[in-house]
Structure 1
């Protein structure tokens, strides 16, 4: 199988590349390295089945050719991370929406119908109450669209584009609403909490908890996420399929910090920081975010093999090796 991954030098994209290379597939990664890192894909560069192109998908002149080559496309390219979303609200909307539309247009013009997996986000659900978030429920966006919600709006637009192109042009599409994916190669540079906590604990530094720490999230290991995405791709439909990808067990951010300190055996303390101090502006957080995985488990056979404790232990060992 020929696999094209946009944003493939990013955290999840690089794991998708590794996964498909292990299956014997041919993989082409395109990334402008604005948030992705060459180090993420460096181990694959000498693999004869792997190709990397450093280009912006918005201007890449060979997109039509790459799309025509692919049997499956994972569209992972986007402006991501809380810090970047708040700092570059216009770029979030313009880049995320335009890149997805250009990719889908190229698929239509190519006359070939690869499976297309579009990475959406749990952000599209907005500030819901303490309920399991399921694919059929109404979505909430705060009136006035503060910068906090531009990412959600861009991903919702991508979903609408994917479904529309599927139905009008017969492209087999699946929309994956990704929930809090963690694991190796993720950086805390753009606001991701787990790698930031682990590195702070290993160094014996205070773990900085933004807000009161009572907000809760459900984390899934990236190695489970990529297996879910592979199996979901096989259900891509010309009507479009929308499916949550995550785990349904929540933990508060404060308890996550305590868990990291315990597993590291660190002397670190916990330091709370209000959102304005953390982000440089007012910020509306989501108190709870837990996916319903009923549809996911109806569609695919895979079940998570990585617990949160196992993921943390793996990350702790990797950071310790880097720090010595």
Structure 2
């Protein structure tokens, strides 16, 4: 199989690359390395079945040829991370929307129809307080033009683009709404809470919690995410569908902080910051984020292999030995 991974040097993409290289597939990665890292894909550089282009999906001249070559496309290229979204909402919208449109246009013009996974996000559910987020739920975005919601709007646009191309061009496209993916190779400088907590705890604190810490999230190991995306991409019944991908175990951010301290065996001071202190502006947070996985399990029979504790243990061990997670 020929596999194209846009954004493949990011931590989620690199786990997909690893999975397909182990399966003996040919893999082509394009990534501008704005958040991805060469080290994430270094183990496969030099392999005759691996190719990497450092390029921006908006301008890369090889996208048409790569799209025509691919049997399967994982489209992960996007501007991500809370701090980057707040700092440059214009680039978020341009990259995420125009980049997806360019990819789909080339993919639909080829001689065959590649399997396509488009990465959306749980952010599209907006500031709902629903205890369980289902794919058919109403979606909410606050009015007022806050840059906080630029990312969610761009991902909702991606969903609409993907479904339109699936219907009009009969492309086997599956939209996946990813929920707080964590794991090896993830970095904390763009606002990701788990690697930030691990780094702070191992440095002796303080551990900074934004808001009151009562907001909940559901964390999924990137290897489980990669396995789910692989299963959905190869499943004819998933074409034209929107599917939640994550873990439905819910935990508050305050409890997550306690768990990181417990796994690292390092009780440290916890410091609470207002959203203005953390982000430099008022920030609309989502209080609950727990996915319904009924559709994913019905389509694929998927079951998780990694617990939150096991992922944290690996991240803590990797940071302790001086390597980056």
TM-score range for the pair, normalised by the shorter chain length:
over 0.9
The Cα offsets for residues 139-170 of structure 1, whole Å up to 9 and x where unpaired, read as: 00111231111100000000000000010011
Q: Is the 8 A contact 1:85 1:150 kept in 2?
A: yes
Q: Distance in 2 between matches of 1:92 and 1:67?
A: 23
What SS does the corresponding residue of 2:321 show, helix, strand or coil? helix
Q: Distance in 2 between matches of 1:85 and 1:235?
A: 33
Query: How many residues are matched?
Result: 324
Q: Distance in 1 between matches of 2:21 and 2:239?
A: 29
What SS does the corresponding residue of 1:261 show, helix, strand or coil? helix
Offset of 1:236 from its aligned partner? Answer: 5.0
Q: Is the 8 A contact 2:174 2:239 kept in 1?
A: no
The Cα offsets for residues 9-34 of structure 1, whole Å up to 9 and x where unpaired, read as: 01101110011001111100000111
2:109 maps to which residue?
109
Offset of 1:246 from its aligned partner? Answer: 0.7
What SS does the corresponding residue of 1:110 show, helix, strand or coil? coil
Between 1:49-58 and 1:107-116, the stretch displaced more is: 107-116
Residue 130 of structure 2 corresponds to residue 130 of structure 1: yes
1:71 maps to which residue?
71
2:25 maps to which residue?
25
Q: Is the 8 A contact 1:96 1:158 kept in 2?
A: yes
Q: Distance in 2 between matches of 1:207 and 1:49?
A: 43
2:176 maps to which residue?
176
Between 1:124-133 and 1:305-314, the stretch displaced more is: 124-133
Offset of 1:111 from its aligned partner? Answer: 2.8
Give structure 1 regions of 4+ aligned residues with deviation exceeding 3 angstroms: 236-239
Q: Distance in 2 between matches of 1:191 and 1:321?
A: 23
2:95 maps to which residue?
95
Q: Distance in 2 between matches of 1:281 and 1:204?
A: 28
What SS does the corresponding residue of 1:224 show, helix, strand or coil? helix
Q: Is the 8 A contact 2:296 2:302 kept in 1?
A: no
Spell out the pairing of 1:1-324 with structure 2 (5 A cutoff). 1-236=1-236, 240-322=240-322
Structure 2 regions of 5+ residues with no counterpart?
none
Offset of 1:118 from its aligned partner? Answer: 0.1
CA RMSD of aligned residues (A): 1.3
The Cα offsets for residues 38-64 of structure 1, whole Å up to 9 and x where unpaired, read as: 111111112221110011111111111
Offset of 1:249 from its aligned partner? Answer: 1.1
Q: Distance in 1 between matches of 2:54 and 2:6?
A: 10
Offset of 1:239 from its aligned partner? Answer: 6.0
Offset of 1:323 from its aligned partner? Answer: 6.8
Question: Do the aligned partners of residues 75 and 278 (structure 1) sit closer, same or farther apart at CA in structure 2, a change above 3 Å counting?
Answer: same
Q: Is the 8 A contact 1:244 1:295 kept in 2?
A: yes
Offset of 1:131 from its aligned partner? Answer: 1.8
Q: Is the 8 A contact 1:173 1:237 kept in 2?
A: no
Structure 1 regions of 5+ residues with no counterpart?
none
Between 1:46-55 and 1:94-103, the stretch displaced more is: 46-55
For normalisation by structure 2, the TM-score amounts to 0.97
For normalisation by structure 1, the TM-score amounts to 0.98
Q: Is the 8 A contact 2:2 2:26 kept in 1?
A: yes
Q: Is the 8 A contact 2:4 2:67 kept in 1?
A: yes
Offset of 1:36 from its aligned partner? Answer: 0.7
The Cα offsets for residues 141-200 of structure 1, whole Å up to 9 and x where unpaired, read as: 111231111100000000000000010011110000000000000000100000000111
